[in-house]
Amino acid sequence: NAGVTQTPKFQVLKTGQSMTLQCAQDMNHNSMYWYRQDPGMGLRLIYYSASEGTTDKGEVPNGYNVSRLNKREFSLRLESAAPSQTSVYFCASKTGYEQYFGPGTRLTVT
Amino acid sequence: RKEVEQDPGPFNVPEGATVAFNCTYSNSASQSFFWYRQDCRKEPKLLMSVYSSGNEDGRFTAQLNRASQYISLLIRDSKLSDSATYLCVVNLRTGSSASKIIFGSGTRLSIRP
């Protein structure tokens, strides 16, 4: 039981490049989330998916798209990366009230 | 005003000390409350839920004060391994079946030998 896994762990992009962050969970949870964490700002919700086939915007969705591929997988795409998207990205899944987080992706956009 | 506010710290206390953090929330409709722990460069993990009656887990005690809209975390007999950032989390009901999870920006705790 791996919990929540994320790939890649680290990534450096140039401005304007695109990439997809992958997330998978093996706990059979319906709800999945993407957050970004910046110093002094806490975790901010980018997008979430309450169940397979549904996605909704969170607090800071601009510049991102998501896909809930199936119950296990929830990916986050940056179509045209900007330096403001330099951050640590966490994926999470939820059962009841407890969220389980992946180990994070550290993204730097130059 | 932020929906969930925490003193960022850092709190720097000696091993064995008792330390307490508070967290305030702005929406009185907030329903459930949690403390998460986040180690440096790691993901957040649930430390404990916070109930109206208060709850204790070993050296950790969490309290909720709905009238004043704050929650607290008390750590007794602190250990070096307690050094981490503690995140206050509030779950707010936004609809009949929808809710919003709001994270505070965290309080950093450093325990010195």
Whether residue A104 and residue B43 make contact (CB cut-off 8 A), yes or no, is: yes
Choose the closest CB to B43 out of A41, A45, A102.
Answer: A102
pLDDT digits over A63-87, tens only?
A: 999 999 899 999 999 999 999 999 9
Check whether A98 has a pLDDT greater than 90. Answer: no
pLDDT confidence of residue A84: 96
| pLDDT interval class at B92 (50, 70, 90) | confident
pLDDT at B1 over 80: no
Among positive and negative, which fits the CA dihedral B10, B18, B66, B32?
Answer: positive
Q: Spell B74-94 as b/e; 16+ CB within 10 A means b.
A: ebeebeeebbbbbbbbbbbee
Residues of A in contact with B8 (CB under 8 A): 40
> If you average pLDDT over every residue of chain B, what do you get?
91
Is residue A1 predicted with pLDDT exceeding 80?
A: no
Rounded to an integer, the average pLDDT of A23-42 is 92
Dist CA A34 CA A101 (whole Å):
10
Give the percent of chain B with pLDDT over 90.
74
**CA atoms within a 13 Å half-sphere pointing along the CA-CB vector of A23:** 31
For chain B, what percent of residues have pLDDT higher than 70? 96
pLDDT of residue A2: 81
Write down how long chain B is: 113
What pLDDT score does B29 carry? Answer: 82
Q: Of the candidates A35, A42, A90, which has its C-beta nearest B104's C-beta? A: A42
Q: Residue A3: phi, psi to the nearest 5?
A: 80, -125
Residue of B63 and B52 predicted with greater confidence: B63
* CA–CA separation, A92 and B59 (whole Å): 27
> Chain B residues with CB inside 8 Å of A43's CB?
44, 87, 103
Kindly tell me if the per-residue pLDDT of B96 is higher than 70: no
Mean pLDDT over each residue of chain A, to the nearest integer: 94
B60 in contact with A, Cβ within 8 Å: no
Return the pLDDT at A89: 98
Instruction: For residue B97, give the chain A residue with the closest CA.
Output: A50
What distance separates the 2 farthest-apart alpha carbons in chain B? Answer: 49
